[in-house]
Amino acid sequence: MKKGSLRLRLFVAAAISIAIALSLTGVALVRLFEAQMRERVVTSLENDLLQLAGSIATSADGSVTAGGTLADPRYQEPYGGRYWRIAFLPGEGQPVLEPLRSRSLWDFEFDPANPKGPEGEQLVIARRDLAIERNGRSQQIAMLAAAHADEVQRPIDQFRDQLILSLGIIGTILILGAWVQVTVGLRPLQHLRARIAAIRTGHDNRLSGAFPDEVAPLAGELNELLDLRDASLERARRRAGDLAHGLKTPLTILASIARDLRKSGHPQQASDIEDQAQAMLRHVEQALARARLSSGKGHSATALKPAAERVVAAIARLPGAEDLQFDLDVLADVTLPMEQGDLTELLGNLLDNARKWARSQVRLRYAAPLLAIEDDGPGVPEDELKHISERGRRLDESKQGSGLGLSIVEDIADIYGLSVTYGRSELGGLRVEIRV
């Protein structure tokens, strides 16, 4: 895909959107799971505090014991990961007792304001304050239960790893789905492109086929544009033809006047008028030739061999062609993406030019993608080949013509995007090669 591809843009936008959506979803799920795990651990600790409160016992001498009935064995294992601590708050008339703590704390004393475990690990804390009766008086105590933060973090890490894998698989599937969606969604544009290419290559003259509602208006506008182009082209061709035909009559009159002047003893004036009339006539012939040309787009392909046979049949009746041999090396099923009139004009100018210079043979050969017309005449010097197609340029004034034949060939080639090259033929004369 190219950098400016619409498919690439849509696919990248979809992939980025999917990545952002899944990332936000993953963060939200991890945060939610973390909150649930923390709440679960805190709830477990609060239940332990309830058991701890139920296990508190006071003796007659004022001593307090607790923790004997806790079910979780981790409170009994040194550094087991679950800890409890009971602090006796100062009260009136009550001596301060040392805090009670679980066996798992061993000899470690943690700071309730910044609780860390015996090994420096982070702890999750639950607290409950209550009052007990001791020596006939109320005693305020603060009970703390703590759990290793790994009880929260370990399941979160496992959940995160599994979530990343799952979201990665889902993201891959969604991105592939986005690629399929973009490809299917843009398929009507590919169909439209193919139909336009068919118009360009001459296989169709209108956009045909069923298009989605979003593309159908564009196809309709393009068809209207093609209609407008054809109408404008036809008007331009008619106007050029009318102008050229309108000028032919005055030019014929000027030629007649020149002949009269020559007869009346004014040869110089007659020559000047004839030169100008001939120059104008060449422009008229060029205008007529251009008016006959199509736009080169939106026309059916034309069979090459029948067109060449018709042109050869017409040229064979021209002066000097009676003794020439015309060889056509073209397969019967070959077609060229050109309008029939344009192909006839192209072949006519090339074969007529070869007819003027050939001694005995003219050959037309097509081997895809090259169309070649050759003759066995004297050929063209190398230094003149680059000037051969100039408008009105005649390398030999002894040959009849306007000098526009090869320039018209260049015009047709320009319309259809063909390349024309000139060289020496193996027959000895000029070889004109057109790459179709």
Q: Determine, yes or no, domain membership for 192.
A: no
pTM of structure: 0.54
Of 296, 253, 292, nearest in space to 274 by CA: 253
Q: Does residue 134 share a domain with residue 248?
A: no
Q: Determine, yes or no, domain membership for 28.
A: no
Residue the block writes with tokens 């012939």: 285
83: how many CB neighbours lie within 10 A of its CB? 27
What pLDDT, in 10s, does the model give residues 5-36? Answer: 788 888 899 999 999 999 999 999 999 999 99
Q: Does residue 280 share a domain with residue 316?
A: no
Is residue 385 very low, low, confident or very high in pLDDT (cuts 50, 70, 90)?
confident
Burial of 292 (C-beta count, 10 Å sphere; 0-12/13-18/19+): middle
161 to 115, 153, 164, 166: CA distances (angstroms): 29, 12, 5, 9
Q: Does residue 370 share a domain with residue 394?
A: yes
Helix, strand or coil, per DSSP, at residue 370: strand
What's the one-letter identity of residue 257?
Answer: I
Q: List the beta bridge partners of residue 112.
A: none
What pLDDT, in 10s, does the model give residues 103-133? Answer: 888 878 777 777 787 788 888 889 888 888 8
Q: Determine, yes or no, domain membership for 209.
A: no
Q: Does residue 313 share a domain with residue 282?
A: no
- Encoding tokens for residue 136? 């006939």
Contact (Cβ atoms closer than 8 angstroms) between residue 294 and residue 339: yes
Q: Does residue 403 share a domain with residue 309?
A: yes
Q: Determine, yes or no, domain membership for 407.
A: yes
Residue the block writes with tokens 């018209």: 408
Q: Does residue 411 share a domain with residue 308?
A: yes
Highest mean pLDDT, choosing among 90-94, 126-130, 381-385, 413-417: 126-130
Q: Which domain holds residue 267?
A: 217-292
Mean of all residue pLDDT scores within the chain: 82
Pairing between β-strand 137-148 and β-strand 123-134 as defined by DSSP bridges: antiparallel
Helix, strand or coil, per DSSP, at residue 127: strand
Number of domains the chain contains: 3
For the CA atoms of 418, 424, 427, 428, what is the dihedral angle to 10 degrees?
A: 150
Q: Determine, yes or no, domain membership for 26.
A: no
Taking the C-alpha atoms of residue 345 and residue 267, their distance in angstroms, rounded to an integer, is 37
Would you put residue 248 in left (φ > 0), alpha (ψ -120 to 50) or beta? Answer: alpha
